[in-house]
Amino acid sequence: MAIATNFWIWIAALLTLAIYSFLYKDNPFYKFAEYLLVGISIGYGVSVYWHNTIITKVYNPLVYDKNFLVLIPLLLGLLMFSRFFKNVSYLSRIPIAFVVGAGTGLSVPSSFEFLFKQVYATMPLKLDFGSLIIVVGVISTLVYFFFSLEHKGFVGRVSRVGITFIMVAFGAAFGYTIMARVSLFIGRIQFLLSDWLGIIK
């Protein structure tokens, strides 16, 4: 393998290096790459929304399929813009009420089922040390998040056990995150060494 001849790989590699140059110190190359990323992501988002929402969800059904039911959600959506005009801004409450109502109706039962499943998973289906730890951990953590009682005496002691469990969990999460950050770096190095420089396969 040899050094890349593809123009876009060169662009990607140079931008990667420009961002990493921030580790040395803030500089114009970093700033250029930063602003470029911010600008491109906005532009990309707008174009995707335009095609996948306006065109495929509104224009195509209206013009080609003659599906006039689309007008109802379209009208509701347009009412959102009434926020920009002070005297009619109350109209935007209609679509918001619709979204909040439907969203709550859909999510309440599902959230309950989700909670039930987690409580069920805490039930000790077999008696061993592991399930004892889970039960103690869950209960003491719940006690830590008790707000209507002062953390003194027995409650205070249990909540201290709880915060210990929380910190142990944070430690595990921290370890995993180091792994993740290293992986992200590895991904870039791999790109630079193989796709760009062609040093490794």
Partner 1 sequence: MLKRTLLLIVFLILSISLFSENDGLIFLENQTPFEEFAITGKDIPNDGGGGIEIEWSFPDSLDNFFLTVLRKDEAGNNSIVATDLLVSSKQVRDVSSEEDPSRVKDGTKYYYTGILSKKMVDENFLNMLISKENGYSKNGIYIFNNDTFYVTAETDAIISKASWFNLSRIPVVISLILISFVFLYYLNLAKSGKELYIRKINGLDAVEEAVGRSTEMGKPIMYILGIGYVTDIPTIAGLTILSRVSKKVAEYETKILVPSYDPVVMTTAQEVVKEAFTEAGRPDLYNKNDIMYITQDQFGYAAGVDGMMMREKPGAVFLQGLFFAESLILAETGHSIGAIQISGTTETAQLPFFVAACDYTLIGEEMMAASVYLQKEPMMLGSIAAEDLLKVFIMVLIIVGFILSIFAYGFNIGIFKNLFDLLVRALQV
Partner 2 sequence: MKFINFISNLDKRWIYLILALCIIIPFLFPVGFPMKTTPPVKSIYDFIEDSIPEGGVVLIGADYDPSTMAELHPMAKVIAAHALSNNLRVLFVTLYPQGAGMAQDAIDNVLKEWNKSNPENQKQLGKDITLLAYVPGVSAVVLKMGEDITQTFNEDGYGNKLSELEVMKGIKNYNDINLMVELAGSSVVLTWLIYANGRYGLKMGIGTTAVSAAEYYSYLQSKQAIGMLGGLKGAAEYEHLLDKKNVYGGRKDASIGMDAQSSAHIFFIILIILGNIAYFVKKRKEGK
Using the rule CB under 8 A, give the single segment among 52-60, 87-95, 177-185, 191-199 that binds partner 1: 177-185
Q: Which of 113, 124, 149, 198 binds partner 2 (CB under 8 A)?
A: 113
Helix, strand, coil abundance in the chain, percent, nearest 5:
85, 0, 15
Q: Quote the CA–CA distance of 20 and 30 in Å, as a whole number.
A: 8
**Residue 193 neighbours by CB under 8 Å, 6+ apart:** 199, 200
51 near partner 1, judged by CB under 8 A: no
Task: Looking at residues 50 to 89 of the shown chain, list those that interact with partner 2 (rule: CB under 8 A).
Answer: 52-53, 56-57, 60
Task: Please identify, using beta-carbon distances, which residue of 55 and 149 lies nearer to partner 2.
Answer: 55
**C-alpha separations of 132 from 42, 126, 127, 155, 170 in Å:** 50, 10, 8, 20, 20
CA 100 from chain center: how many Å? 21
User: Could you say which of 7, 24, 64, 120 contacts partner 1 (CB under 8 A)?
Assistant: 120
Q: Which of partner 2, partner 1, none has residue 31 at its interface (CB below 5 to 8 Å by kind)?
A: partner 1
Q: Degrees (nearest 5) of the Cα angle 143, 148, 152?
A: 60
- Considering only residues 11-40, where is the footprint of partner 2 by CB under 8 A? 23-24
Binding residues for partner 2, per CB under 8 A?
A: 23-24, 41, 44-45, 48-49, 52-53, 56-57, 60, 103, 106-107, 109-111, 113-114, 117-118, 120-121, 169, 172-173, 176-180, 182-190, 193, 199-201
